[in-house]
Structure 1
Amino acid sequence: MTKIFNIDPNDFEESELREGASILNKGGTVAFPTETVYGIGANALKEEAVKKIFQAKGRPSDNPLIVHIAHQDQLKELAKDINENAKLLIEKFWPGPLTIILNKTEKVPNCTTGGLNTVAIRMPSHRMARQLIGMSKVPVAAPSANISGKPSPTKGKHVVKDLENRVDGIICGGDVQIGLESTVIDATGEVPTILRPGGVTKEEIEEALNMEIKVDPAIEGYFKKDLTPKSPGMKYTHYSPEAQVVMVIGHLEDTTKKIRELKKEAVSQGKKVGIMCTDETKDKYDGLVYSMGSRKKISTIALNMFHVLRLFDETDVDMIFAEGIESTHLGSAIMNRMTKAAGYNIIKC
């Protein structure tokens, strides 16, 4: 049985987190909110605890986990040989939605890192998450709290739907603040490389480091199946709802026209269709239409995207036609998730 804790993120006492922290300390699994998405956590240094995460999610064992910490003092038992670029990133972006890949110590088991000699570490800015981790007295491995491959959870009810009776505890602590997983950057080399775009943009990192950084080619396309992923989200299909997603990209007027044509064709074939759009275009469609947010405030699209994908799972649609957005700054992270949700099924117009 899963113990569910309903806690107000804006008004809570430390005592409300005590039981969840105790579960983590004793090797159990607890789902909890962060500023990015909800995560399912376990003691990152205990192999048997980490294995429970993979079992609960149905997650491939070579997919590395992100280790969450409450304070920088925990770094020394997790990572070694931390270079100057990594130190600058820590100083600038922690706590926050940036995961940094570093060389791991012997204390970190291979099951946490997918067999790699590196470890992905993040310090969340979410007060409840950081307090829970601190009270547990262990570093916490925590991927997104969803069934592997499905849309990431941004609300407590998403986690309950996916993981009730699969984990020991679920902390329902309101909606998340960003809605996309953290940016992952490999800081072990001379030039840092982004492995997954997220809440911290490439432009912000380059400004902080005063240098041009790299972006892994896997972000733009398929990951070679014979390689071991260094970051979550690189190798496997992610974020997919039950219905088939087709993403349409191009000039906005051309995109809306193409989606209307595609919908008409699909309906003529007896398919039930949903449309995933933005506030600026929602009036151009009829039928089942969900807006992700406004193109004028891209953060609203980031916050609502996974929720909208889950809304379609509550319907009986067969296909979802989704508008693409401009792939710059935070938009690159949104398009990365949308591309994976569509299984790279993209129509350019």
Structure 2
Amino acid sequence: MLPADSGIAEAASVLRTGGLVAFPTETVYGLGANALDARAAARIFEAKARPSFDPLITHLADAAELEKLVGAVPPAVTALAERFWPGPLTLIVDRPAAVPQIVTSGLPTMAVRVPDNAYARALIAEAGVPVAAPSANRFGQLSPTRAEHVVRGLGAAVDVVLDGGPTRCGIESTIVDARAGRPVVLRLGALPLEALAEAVGPVTVRPGSSGQPVAPGTLAAHYAPRTPLRLATGAEPPAADGVRRGFLAFREPPAGDWAAVEVLSAAGDLTEAAARLFDALHELDATGVGEIVVEPVPEAGVGRAINDRLRRAAATWQPAG
């Protein structure tokens, strides 16, 4: 593990030579490789045990790099990039020939963004290549919001881990396809729908599916701890069945004798709750409880994305059929 403020040059060299670098962004830690190198991108899928049908997000150091990479960009995509980059917005564009198909999982489109994190942009600029990077964790598991989460989850599979401290947003980017003009949200994320609507008018939200994803992180079951997790059904005491349970609360600790409790925001602040979400789930996952019960948050602003992550995590543990 290297401090992000002094390890940029070494990490960039690793990227240029086909290696894997975990690095901080404003959303979660990413597992990066040269997006123009098919072999390097293949190492991401191997390290994460990620299925080949789930595409990656390509990260750029600056919005000006988008047109250089993909050529002509639709006006609606350009407008969103100008308004929200750097930031937690991923945009869908047509895949250029320079980007190997493994990065896009064979799709004719590519997901791309400019992160709002000085360490991330400095790393990409120093490497001199676009960086393909999903979250730096094993596929389907909790996203990392601290460097130690990466080390704990991926270990020696990563060549360099840059430690830039805890991430600011705490959940992944919002993914939007605006190539046809009207924005379609493919994944809820750290940029709220209200911010998009204020900038461009009404937006459509397309739900995820269990089939081939059209964008990263949209499978119905995802973002799950190792411990079985389910959504709370109203105010419920811990069951008297001998199972030690943990509880993830929005703003107030629950009644009852829970083995472990994490509160996302005592002030009821959804931005704080999002920043705490995966960190709190990592903490509960490490306690050794037999089940984690999670309380949904208000369905507004970034709360929609928090609830989306909780539903997908719970879906991982729902019985088949």
* TM category, shorter: over 0.9
> Is residue 2:307 matched to residue 1:335?
yes
Write the mapping of 1:205-220 to structure 2, written as runs, cut at 5 A: 205-209=196-200, 211-218=201-208
Rounded to whole Å, the distance in 1 between the matches of 2:269 and 2:165 is 22
> Is residue 2:242 matched to residue 1:306?
no
Q: Which amino acid aligns with 1:110?
A: Q
Q: Which amino acid aligns with 1:107?
A: A
Write the mapping of 1:86-235 to structure 2, written as runs, cut at 5 A: 86-209=77-200, 211-218=201-208, 223-225=209-211, 228-235=212-219
CA offset digits 1:66-121 (Å, max 9, x no partner): 00000123213432442221111011100000000011211111100111111100
Q: Is the 8 A contact 2:210 2:220 kept in 1?
A: no
Rounded to whole Å, the distance in 2 between the matches of 1:342 and 1:65 is 23
> Is residue 2:255 matched to residue 1:284?
yes
Partner of 2:288: 316
Rounded to whole Å, the distance in 2 between the matches of 1:343 and 1:224 is 11
User: Which structure's CA Rg is the greater one?
Assistant: 1
Q: Select which of 42, 47, 50 maps to 1:51.
A: 42
- TM-score when scaled to structure 1? 0.87
SS in 2 for 1:164: helix
CA offset digits 1:121-158 (Å, max 9, x no partner): 00011001100010000000010001111110001110
Q: Which amino acid aligns with 1:103?
A: D
Q: Select which of 266, 281, 287 maps to 1:294.
A: 266
- TM-score when scaled to structure 2? 0.94
CA offset digits 1:283-334 (Å, max 9, x no partner): 5343321112236211111011111111122122111111111111110000
SS in 2 for 1:325: coil
CA offset digits 1:11-42 (Å, max 9, x no partner): x35xx310000000111100000000000000
> Is residue 2:243 matched to residue 1:271?
yes
Q: Which amino acid aligns with 1:314?
A: A
Unmatched tracts of structure 1, length 5 or more: 250-254
Rounded to whole Å, the distance in 2 between the matches of 1:344 and 1:163 is 20
SS in 2 for 1:162: helix
CA offset digits 1:191-234 (Å, max 9, x no partner): 2110111111111112111x21211032xxxx142xx2111111
Matched pairs, number: 317
Q: Which amino acid aligns with 2:8?
A: L
Partner of 1:30: 21
Q: Is the 8 A contact 1:78 1:104 kept in 2?
A: no
Rounded to whole Å, the distance in 2 between the matches of 1:55 and 1:236 is 22
CA RMSD of aligned residues (A): 1.6
SS in 2 for 1:99: strand
Q: Which amino acid aligns with 2:86?
A: P
| Structure 1 stretches of 4+ moved >3 Å | none
The percent identity for this pair of structures is 38
> Is residue 2:32 matched to residue 1:67?
no
Rounded to whole Å, the distance in 2 between the matches of 1:292 and 1:301 is 5
